[in-house]
């Protein structure tokens, strides 16, 4: 009985040595990381063109590749009007567009509704009224909603909006 404690300690130390050997035999503490196969990443968005023609309205435009439909870009435009905007507001025609940069000369960028239409790029036009201290958000999907469908989301592209006051 007097050696029972000594036997328990030796048995416990033996278990610890065996367990330590099972955990990591090479003495290093790092586990090798799994091998990851790189996937091809889609081309980045090259730039944003916001061309407002409406005094007192601030625009922000964001784009993301659609998760709903492959090959489409979802544009979100937020327009915020100043408090001192004309009391009866403005009717704004928004022409959203997207195009692949390899289809046009370097630096080309449409600056009017007519240029967007005649260029043959995917576009969507919306008309909306904005009042003083008003905030408007418009979402469009290009090229799904566009009349022209020639666009490749895997190539570099430019997106933008031309905003023009069409109040009569």
pLDDT digits (tens, 9 = 90+) for 3-49: 666 556 555 556 555 555 555 555 555 656 555 555 554 555 556 77
Residue 93 is assigned to a structural domain of this protein: yes
Of all residues in the chain, what percent carry a pLDDT higher than 90? Answer: 40
Strand locations in 67-151, DSSP E? 73-81, 90-100, 123-130, 135-142
Count of other CB atoms within 10 angstroms of residue 67: 8
Closest among 155, 139, 54 to 103, alpha carbons compared: 155
Task: Report the CATH number that the domain containing residue 99 is assigned in CATH.
Answer: 2.60.40
Residue 40 is assigned to a structural domain of this protein: no
- State the pLDDT at residue 133: 94
- State the pLDDT at residue 28: 55
Residue 67 is assigned to a structural domain of this protein: yes
Residue 2 is assigned to a structural domain of this protein: no
Residue 159 is assigned to a structural domain of this protein: yes
Signed CA dihedral, 59, 63, 67, 72: sign only = positive
Residue 28 is assigned to a structural domain of this protein: no
Residue 71 is assigned to a structural domain of this protein: yes
- State the pLDDT at residue 2: 60
Residue 8 is assigned to a structural domain of this protein: no
Global model pTM greater than 0.85: no
Question: Which residue range(s) make up the domain with 103?
Answer: 45-165
DSSP 31: P
Domain count across the chain: 1
């Amino acid at each position: 009985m007097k050696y029972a404690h000594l036997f328990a300690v030796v048995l416990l130390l033996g278990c610890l040595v065996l367990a330590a050997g099972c955990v990591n035999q090479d003495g290093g503490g790092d586990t090798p990381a799994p091998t990851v196969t790189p996937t091809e990443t889609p081309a980045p968005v090259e730039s944003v063109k916001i061309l407002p023609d409406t005094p007192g309205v601030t625009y922000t435009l964001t784009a993301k590749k659609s998760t709903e439909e492959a090959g489409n870009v979802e544009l979100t435009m937020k327009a915020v009007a100043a408090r001192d905007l004309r009391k009866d507001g403005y009717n704004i025609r928004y022409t959203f567009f997207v195009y692949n940069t390899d289809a046009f000369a370097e630096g080309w960028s449409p600056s009017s509704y007519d240029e967007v239409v005649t260029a043959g790029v995917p576009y969507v036009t919306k008309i909306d009224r904005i009042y003083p201290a008003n905030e408007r958000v418009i979402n469009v999907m290009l090229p799904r909603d566009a009349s022209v469908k020639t666009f490749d989301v895997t190539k570099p592209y430019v997106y933008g909006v031309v905003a023009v006051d069409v109040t009569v």
